[in-house]
């Protein structure tokens, strides 16, 4: 499986790492926040040096309880950040983490080469046509509700089957719009209980049925720190443990806060294979 980032091809037959760069102070993990251009560039360079293939830049918090941010503010932050990164690190592959087509377009216009949409195009009906027009890879995530209400008692008869049904519909819609490169993210922590999250991980290989790259967004999430009785800052070890499980079950992309450790995990996994 190969993803086309504006003419730059990246194979995912060997798992790759996506580093998280948050432009908001409301994100759940303090270590992923970048508050100024200097820290943005420093963190981005560090991630690339440690082995990140993609930098995922977001200006809207999607933690449980967070409200959708102001559109113009999100656009301003994304345009500024992507512009700085492209100027300082011309070879960087940058993903825009947003559920708005206007923000995606603004980021793509200044050099981004991927869109990561937590709503899989359901929040903004113009998202998929925009992605198709730019011919970039598109990460489609499953989420029940929106960040502000997604953790208000989420219910499923069978969480894995429901996500599979959802992906079947959204992939079909993406293909109808002409999107070539689709990445699937089952959405750990987005409208799921801790039990739901572990059920998804246990059956992660089921999502390989479409032969699309699978993204695992487990890094430092509450499924780890609540289970261990700690906090997000103390979950690197737990994150690595679950990353190995995700890799064994077919993850192609690890979306992470800690790049070096994720890259080491992949190296060990590949050697084990």
Range of the domain at 83: 14-272
pLDDT value at residue 99: 94
Counting other chains too, the contacts that 221-228 makes at CB distance below 8 Å and 24 or more residues apart are: 221/28, 221/188, 221/189, 221/197, 222/28, 222/64, 222/189, 222/194, 223/188, 223/189, 223/194, 223/197, 223/198, 226/194, 227/194
pLDDT digits (tens, 9 = 90+) for 219-247: 999 999 999 999 988 999 999 999 999 99
Q: Is residue 140 part of a domain?
A: yes
Q: List residues bridging with 185 in a β-sheet.
A: 141
Residue-wise pLDDT for 23-33, tens only, equals: 876 555 455 56
**Residue 143 Cα distances to 88, 121, 192, angstroms:** 34, 11, 8
Round the average pLDDT of the chain to a whole number and report it: 92
Catalytic one of 76, 105, 221, 226: 221
Cβ-count burial 101-115 (b if 16+ within 10 Å, e if not)? bbbbbbbbebbbbbb
Q: Could you tell me which residues are beta bridge partners of residue 87? A: none
Residue 12 confidence (pLDDT): 92
**Does residue 152 lie in a domain region?**
yes
CB atoms within 10 A of CB 146: 18
Separation CA 113–CA 131 (nearest Å) = 10
Backbone angles phi, psi at 235, to 5 degrees: -115, 15
Residue 8 lies in a domain: no
Q: What confidence score (pLDDT) does residue 173 get?
A: 98
Counting as low any pLDDT under 50, the low residues of the chain are 29
pLDDT tens digits, 251-267:
999 999 999 999 999 99
Q: How confident is the model at residue 31, as a pLDDT? A: 58
Is 9 within the bounds of a domain? Answer: no
Identify whether 5 is part of a domain: no
Task: Write the CATH number for 38.
Answer: 3.20.20.20
Q: Is 255 a catalytic residue?
A: yes
Asked whether residue 7 is assigned to any structural domain, the reply reads no
Tell how strand 2-5 and strand 8-11 pair up: antiparallel
Res 26: pLDDT = 56
What is the structure's pLDDT at 73?
92
**pLDDT value, residue 263:** 98
- The answer to whether residue 142 sits within a structural domain is yes
**Sole residue written with tokens 């219910």:** 155
Structural domain total, the chain = 1
Q: Which residues pair with 97 in a beta bridge?
A: 58, 116
CA distance 17 to 184: 15
* Candidates 46, 180, 255, 273; catalytic one: 255
pLDDT value at position 35? 73
Instruction: Say what percent of the chain tops pLDDT 90.
Output: 79
């Amino acid at each position: 499986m190969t993803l086309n980032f504006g003419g730059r091809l990246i194979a995912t037959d060997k798992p790759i790492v996506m580093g998280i760069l948050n432009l908001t102070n409301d994100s759940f993990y303090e270590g992923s926040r970048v508050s100024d251009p200097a820290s943005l560039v420093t963190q981005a360079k560090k991630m690339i040096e440690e082995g990140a293939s993609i930098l995922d830049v977001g200006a809207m918090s999607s933690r449980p309880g967070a409200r959708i941010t102001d559109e113009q503010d999100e656009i301003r932050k994304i345009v500024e950040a992507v512009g700085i990164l492209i100027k300082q690190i011309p070879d960087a592959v940058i993903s825009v983490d947003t559920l708005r087509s206007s923000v995606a377009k603004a980021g793509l216009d200044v050099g981004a080469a991927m869109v990561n949409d937590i709503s899989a195009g359901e929040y903004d009906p113009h998202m998929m046509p925009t992605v198709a027009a730019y011919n970039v890879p598109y990460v489609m995530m499953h989420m029940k509700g929106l960040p502000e209400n997604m953790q208000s008692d989420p219910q499923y008869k069978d969480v894995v089957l429901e996500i599979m049904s959802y992906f079947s519909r959204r992939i079909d819609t993406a293909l109808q719009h002409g999107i070539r490169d689709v990445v699937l993210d089952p959405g750990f922590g987005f409208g799921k209980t801790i039990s739901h999250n572990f059920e998804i991980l246990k059956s992660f290989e089921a999502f390989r049925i479409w032969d699309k790259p699978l993204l695992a967004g487990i890094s430092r999430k509450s499924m780890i720190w609540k289970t261990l009785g700690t906090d997000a800052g103390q979950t690197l070890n737990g994150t690595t443990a679950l990353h190995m499980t995700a890799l064994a079950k077919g993850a192609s992309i690890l979306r992470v806060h800690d790049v070096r450790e994720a890259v080491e995990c992949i190296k060990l996994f590949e050697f084990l294979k």
